[in-house]
């Protein structure tokens, strides 16, 4: 049975990002800072590229409206589809409310991750303490 796997560009970028994060895990504090700087630099570059491409699309639509370029209906439908996927900023409160919820959810996930790490370290500490207590009991008895 033949099949093809189609992915959107956003999915590919997300998978690439997760794969990079998995290979950058480190416990050296100085290296963590450089890892964060590297990630932020990559994100800044991605946002800049997105900004440039949106500018190209805007310029194309303006040129079509002014009659400088010929209409390409397929391309205009693609642009309209992209615009429909983006949140409408003019809705004000609804957009800010949704953005706030997403930000809070992201912070909650970050806090849960930190809490999970703390519990893991506490568990390791309890195991070590019990091993030390066990050795002391063996030495006395």
Q: Supply 112's token pair.
A: 């849960």
Q: Is residue 138 part of a domain?
A: yes
Is 18 part of any domain? Answer: no
- Tell me how far the alpha carbon of residue 28 is from its chain's centroid: 23
Question: Residue 52's domain spans which residues?
Answer: 29-86
Per-residue pLDDT tens, the chain, 141 aa: give them: 565 656 667 767 776 766 666 555 555 555 555 677 777 788 888 888 888 988 999 999 999 999 999 999 999 999 999 888 876 656 566 767 777 888 888 889 989 989 999 999 999 999 999 999 899 888 886
Q: Which pair of tokens denotes residue 122? A: 């506490």
Q: Which two tokens stand for residue 14?
A: 């997300």
Q: Is the pTM of this model over 0.85?
A: no
Q: Is residue 24 part of a domain?
A: no
* Rounded distance between C-alpha atoms, residue 61 and residue 78, angstroms: 12
Q: How many CA atoms lie within 13 A of 5 on its CB side?
A: 2
Domain boundary among 44, 62, 86: 86
């Amino acid at each position: 049975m033949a099949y093809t796997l189609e992915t959107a560009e956003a999915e590919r970028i997300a998978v690439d990002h997760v794969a990079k994060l998995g290979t950058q895990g480190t416990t050296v504090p100085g290296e963590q800072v450089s890892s964060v700087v590297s990630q932020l630099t990559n994100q800044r570059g991605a946002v800049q590229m997105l900004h440039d491409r949106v500018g190209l699309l805007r310029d194309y639509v303006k040129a079509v409206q002014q009659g400088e370029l010929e209409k390409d209906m397929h391309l205009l439908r693609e642009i309209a589809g992209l615009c429909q996927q983006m949140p409408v900023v003019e809705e004000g409160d609804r957009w800010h409310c949704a953005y706030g919820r997403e930000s809070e959810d992201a912070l909650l996930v970050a806090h849960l991750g930190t809490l999970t790490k703390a519990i893991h370290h506490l568990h390791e500490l309890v195991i070590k303490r019990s091993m030390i207590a066990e050795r002391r009991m063996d030495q006395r008895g």
